[in-house]
């Protein structure tokens, strides 16, 4: 359970770059590593899996209780080391209270936190910032600092200034534009889109090995206390598993167009006795054989509209099987794919209407959705916590659920629902309400095709 949380003073201070540098450097020491990301982030975990081939999961205190966070961490932690990357600034979260922040993750799993400061142009101000972060909460979890974007000549001064205040400095990373990795509106560009990714990661590793106190960070990680797991959801799992050896097969979309999926969603389906089989709406002309459920996850279908549209055989099969009642979850990008069209380019055609690009975020942030009718996932009145993030909008968003924003209480209708369907822009985190997962699996298990 050796672990550290890497967070920062604000977004864009270098957390992701330094996290990648540390993953590469510790992996080069032949350590068995796992990585985690706080908050509802798909891109960084996907990047870590692809580039570093490490187990990567989300830890989100909006979706999960403190004990759930501990259980999720214990289940997936690395044998030698776990590195958790915080989202936004360390204390930033929902509303004035800053709920669901990286600090809440650190406190819940008792992970020592190392703060990243972009310290270009600073001297004594750096000590004021780190001291303020350390003293802002009684149990701040802040145990050190790494400076980003500074020169080797400046580091000794900054190190001495912060250590004079009793805060340990664990090194720095100089600014090297040739190792920077681009971004899109949802975060990092995916690993498959970067031709020289190995060169960039090797460059970051070399910088970390030269300028960051890796031994000190590993000792800090080893100081984290033991966590205790609970047995809370064992009864649900055991009650849902089949007696038969034949598992229910759930087809899940996975390719460059459909790449946003919480790993925990897959795990809970597997825990409930399902066999998850992946398919590519870009490449495959047919769905996998003998499936009883369909999960169309989010992603970037808008970047691949021509390719998706040309694959008419699969589009027609998906429309037909949904019309025949196969239990189906389609969220965000998967929801868009089910429409008649995206930007007037034909798609599956199950949901009437067109999806169009807008010039601003249509929905962003954490929400709760409350069922207004019985549906595939739940009964009328049931609630689950989810999140939204999309620039595209639909002419037919649905009215099966009422959404309520966590930040300001704003309410609006969303999602399509029936006894065999959940489809909408909100991304579902199934462990936030395992009964939703169980209902999906039970319906898939009972579907006769």
User: Under DSSP, is residue 187 helix (H, G, I), strand (E, B) or coil?
Assistant: strand
Backbone φ and ψ of 32, nearest 5°: -85, 115
- DSSP labels, 218-241: HHHHHTSPP-----TTHHHHHHHS
Catalytic residues, by residue number, are: 332
Bridge-partner residues for 249, per DSSP?
275
Task: Write the burial class of residue 160 (CB in 10 Å: 0-12 exposed, 13-18 middle, 19+ buried).
Answer: exposed
**Conformational region of residue 98, where left means phi above 0, alpha means psi within -120 to 50, and beta covers everything else:** left
Nearest to 27 by CA among 94, 79, 103: 79
Residue 276 in tokens: 């998850």
Residues in the chain: 449
CA dist list (Å): 444 to 289, 292, 301, 329: 14, 5, 26, 11
Nearest to 257 by CA among 238, 283, 228: 283
Q: Chain centroid to CA 4: how far?
A: 18
Distance (Å, rounded) from C-alpha 104 to C-alpha 100? 6
CA dist list (Å): 150 to 142, 153, 203, 376, 396: 21, 8, 16, 53, 50
Specify the residue for token string 């020592």. Answer: 112
User: Under DSSP, is residue 339 helix (H, G, I), strand (E, B) or coil?
Assistant: strand
Distance (Å, rounded) from C-alpha 250 to C-alpha 271? 13
- DSSP labels, 241-284: S-SSSPPEEEEEE-SSSS-B--HHHHHHHHHTTEEEEEE-TTT-
Which contiguous run of DSSP H or E holds residue 25?
Answer: helix 15-28
Distance (Å, rounded) from C-alpha 282 to C-alpha 259? 12
Helices (H) and strands (E) in the chain, counts: 14, 24
CA dist list (Å): 247 to 236, 243, 293, 352: 17, 10, 12, 33
């Amino acid at each position: 359970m050796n672990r550290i949380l890497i967070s920062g003073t604000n977004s864009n201070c270098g957390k992701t770059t330094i996290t990648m540098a540390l993953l590469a450097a510790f992996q080069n020491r032949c350590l068995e590593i796992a990585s985690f990301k706080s908050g509802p982030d798909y891109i960084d975990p996907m990047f870590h899996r692809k580039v570093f081939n490490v187990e990567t999961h989300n830890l989100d205190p909006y979706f999960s209780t403190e004990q759930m966070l501990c259980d999720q961490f214990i289940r997936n932690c690395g044998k030698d080391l776990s590195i958790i990357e915080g989202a936004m600034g360390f204390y930033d979260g929902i509303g004035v209270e800053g709920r669901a922040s990286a600090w809440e993750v650190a406190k819940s799993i008792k992970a020592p936190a190392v703060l990243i400061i972009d310290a270009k142009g600073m001297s004594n101000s750096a000590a004021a910032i780190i001291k303020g972060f350390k003293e802002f909460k009684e149990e701040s979890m802040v145990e050190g600092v790494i400076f980003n974007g500074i020169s080797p000549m400046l580091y000794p001064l900054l190190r001495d200034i912060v250590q004079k205040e009793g805060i340990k400095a664990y090194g720095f990373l100089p600014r090297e534009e040739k190792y920077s990795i681009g971004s899109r509106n949802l975060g990092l560009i995916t690993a498959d889109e970067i031709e020289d990714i190995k060169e960039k990661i090797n460059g970051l590793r070399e910088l970390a090995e030269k300028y960051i106190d890796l031994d000190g960070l590993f000792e800090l990680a080893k100081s984290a206390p033991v966590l205790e797991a609970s047995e809370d959801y064992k009864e649900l799992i055991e009650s849902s598993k089949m007696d038969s050896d034949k598992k229910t097969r759930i087809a899940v979309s996975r390719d460059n167009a459909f790449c946003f999926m919480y790993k925990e969603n897959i795990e809970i389906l597997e825990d409930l006795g399902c066999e998850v089989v992946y398919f590519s709406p870009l490449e495959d002309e047919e769905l996998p054989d003998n499936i009883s459920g369909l999960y169309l996850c989010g992603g970037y279908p808008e970047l691949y509209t021509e390719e998706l549209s040309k694959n008419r055989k699969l589009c027609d099969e998906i429309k037909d099987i949904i019309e025949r009642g196969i239990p189906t979850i389609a969220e965000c990008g998967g929801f868009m794919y089910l429409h008649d069209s995206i930007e007037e380019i034909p798609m599956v055609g199950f949901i009437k209407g067109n999806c169009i690009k807008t010039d601003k975020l249509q929905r962003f942030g954490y929400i709760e959705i409350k069922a207004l009718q019985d549906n595939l996932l739940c009964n009328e009145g049931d609630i689950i916590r989810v999140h939204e993030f999309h620039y595209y909008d639909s002419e037919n968003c649905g009215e099966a659920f009422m959404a309520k924003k966590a930040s300001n209480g704003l309410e609006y209708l969303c999602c399509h629902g029936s006894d065999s369907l959940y489809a909408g822009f909100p991304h579902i985190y199934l462990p936030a309400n395992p009964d939703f997962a169980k209902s999906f699996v039970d319906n898939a298990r009972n579907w006769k095709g």
